[in-house]
């Protein structure tokens, strides 16, 4: 009789232990998942840095499939769509997000800079509305199109001083506390501006096809030489751990089969030394092929 009473009690005890154990495992999994996925209420601070050098020139760098400036516009469209998708996933009272556009150096045409000012978006619970959210994509599409049209028509390309932007501006203009800071750079991967040409050993503030060729990084031993002789960019910042970077548009010179790998190594080494933990470097592929990649990066999807 006693044995009959003990068996049900033991069974219930085991069931209780099993249930508690499962719940603890479930809680751990949920906690782990919440650590790896960004909450919907996270605030975004997205910056887009445009390289308006002659890479977008229809004369110097034509592309019959799709011009490079048109590809840029497609990439920007995907970024703005990801931004609005993020906004629409939040409650109005949770919204406190920003998106802006930069150049370095600034174009000579004041009209371009005026348009860029108009593209500085700051949305919070006080100004968020369905009308505003629905207007972001069309505004960014039309106004960025005007920027490229003006730059191409002007035909006075100002170069690409991305190094100086990271040295002097990125912390002040692209990073804010309590935000997820994302910088999208549209560039072919080359950097050069006469005003910031510096060299420290084999480190430089620029990279061009001529420099790659001059340094002998156009042979199969390019990687060993790059590592052994410490070629790369001069470090522009000590700690950018609160910044995520997506580089789009890499377009290497076709005369060197190792050019793309060298460019990627320069950028990767640079970002790593500046403690940027999350970054991706992508080619100048068609916007339709890049759409999901861009949105997954911005929306932090695995």
If you average pLDDT over residues 90-101, what whole number do you get? Answer: 96
What global pTM score does this model have? 0.86
pLDDT of residue 115: 94
**Cβ(155)–Cβ(224) under 8 Å?**
no
Write down the residue that tokens 């001069």 correspond to: 234
Residue 4 in this model has a pLDDT that exceeds 80: no
If you average pLDDT over residues 130-141, what whole number do you get? Answer: 94
Whether the link from the prior residue into 105 is cis, omega within 30° of 0, is: yes
pLDDT of residue 210: 97
pLDDT in tens, 220-267: 999 999 999 999 999 999 999 999 999 999 999 999 999 999 999 999
**Cβ(264)–Cβ(51) under 8 Å?**
no
Residue 23 in this model has a pLDDT that exceeds 50: no
**Cβ(136)–Cβ(83) under 8 Å?**
yes
Residue 173 in this model has a pLDDT that exceeds 90: yes
pLDDT of residue 154: 86
Least confident of 7-16, 193-202, 284-293: 7-16
- Choose between 137 and 10: higher pLDDT: 137
Least confident of 27-41, 114-128, 175-189: 27-41
* Residues shown for the chain: 302
pLDDT of residue 109: 84
Question: Which residues are within 8 A (CB) of 29 and not within 5 positions of it... i.e. 6 or more apart?
Answer: none
Average pLDDT, the chain: 89
């Amino acid at each position: 009789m006693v044995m009959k009473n003990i068996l049900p009690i033991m069974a219930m005890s085991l069931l209780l232990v099993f249930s508690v154990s499962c719940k603890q495992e479930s809680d751990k999994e949920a906690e782990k998942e919440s650590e790896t996925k960004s909450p919907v209420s996270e605030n975004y601070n997205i910056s887009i840095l445009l390289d308006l050098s002659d890479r977008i020139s229809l004369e110097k760098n034509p592309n019959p499939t799709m011009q490079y400036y048109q590809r840029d516009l497609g990439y920007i469209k995907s970024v703005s769509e990801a931004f609005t998708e993020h906004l629409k996933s939040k409650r109005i009272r949770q919204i406190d997000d920003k998106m802006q556009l930069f150049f370095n150096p600034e174009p000579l045409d004041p009209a371009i800079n005026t348009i860029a000012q108009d593209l500085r978006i700051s949305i919070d619970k006080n100004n968020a509305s369905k009308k505003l959210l629905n207007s972001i994509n069309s505004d960014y599409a039309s106004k960025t199109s005007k920027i490229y049209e003006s730059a191409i028509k002007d035909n006075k390309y100002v170069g690409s001083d991305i190094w100086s932007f990271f040295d002097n501006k990125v912390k002040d203009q692209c990073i804010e506390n309590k935000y997820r800071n994302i910088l999208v750079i549209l560039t072919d991967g080359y950097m050069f501006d006469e005003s910031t040409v510096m060299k420290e050993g084999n480190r430089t503030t620029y990279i061009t096809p001529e420099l790659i060729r001059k340094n002998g990084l156009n042979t199969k031993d390019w990687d060993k030489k790059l590592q052994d002789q410490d070629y790369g960019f001069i470090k522009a910042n000590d700690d950018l751990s609160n910044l995520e970077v997506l580089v789009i548009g890499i377009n290497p010179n076709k005369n060197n089969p190792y050019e793309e790998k060298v460019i990627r190594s320069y950028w990767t080494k640079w970002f790593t030394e500046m403690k940027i933990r999350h970054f991706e470097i992508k080619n100048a592929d068609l916007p339709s092929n890049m759409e999901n990649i861009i949105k997954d990066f911005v929306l932090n999807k695995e």
